[in-house]
Every structure is written in C-alpha cells, then in structure tokens.
Amino acid sequence: MHSPAERDLKERTFQFARRIIHLFNALPTKPLHQTLGRQVLRSGTSIGANYREAFRARSRLEFRAKIGDCLKEAEETEYWLQLLQAKQIVKPARLQPLIQETQ
C-alpha cells in the first residue's frame, strides 16, 4: 500500500507528463523546435514511468536505482526546458512552472 506522499508523487509525475505532452503538441513544427521538443517529451514523461517502476523493484538497491533514474530524468528535463526558454521557443511564463516542478 502506498503512503499519501507516494500517491501524491505518483499523481504529480503523471500530471507533469501530461503537461509535457501538451507543451510538445503546442510546439511549432520547425526542425529545431521538434528536436528539442522530442528530448523534453522523452525525459519528461519517463520521470513518472521510472517512479512507478520503482515500486515494482525486487530489492531496495533496485528501488534506489529507479528513484535515482527519476532524479536524473528530472534534471535532464529541466535542461531541455531551459533550452526551449533560452532559444525563445516557448514563453518563460509557460515554462517556469514546469521548470519549478523538475526541481
């Protein structure tokens, strides 16, 4: 059985992935935008997938490794979001809540 904090993170990572998908779908179709968008899509949606996998771990070591993967993907997602912001592909106001959630 999952604790309230675990359920909260399960829901937050799911909602974060939904927001990332929505962001990707709203990107212009220029090659640079789509390339960066695919990167953020991949890393941003894998956070929740890795979080869920962690709860099927066969050992504490495997659990910690999967949680570590979540943190790595969050860091990578933050990087791609910052790049989208730096290249002025997406307005900072739209990206700030997503960047904040990765932290």
Question: Over the stretch 24-44, which tens digit does the pLDDT of each residue have?
Answer: 999 999 999 999 999 999 999
Residue with tokens 């709860």: 55
Sorting pLDDT into bands at 50, 70 and 90, what band is 2?
A: low
Find how far residue 12's CA is from the centre of its chain. Answer: 10
> Quick one: pLDDT at residue 7?
73
Distance CA(26)–CA(74), nearest Å, equals 21
pTM of the model: 0.89
- Check residue 55 and give its pLDDT: 87
Torsion of CA 1, 16, 73, 31, to 10 degrees: 150
Work out the angle at residue 37's Cα, subtended by the Cα atoms of residues 82 and 39, and round it to the nearest 5 degrees. Answer: 80
Q: Report yes or no: 12 and 101 within 8 Å, Cβ to Cβ.
A: yes
pLDDT in tens, 63-98: 999 999 999 999 999 999 999 999 999 999 999 999
DSSP 90: S
- Token output for 36: 């960066």
Phi first, then psi: what are they for 35, rounded to 5°? -65, -50
Q: Which helix (H) or strand (E) holds 60?
A: helix 60-86
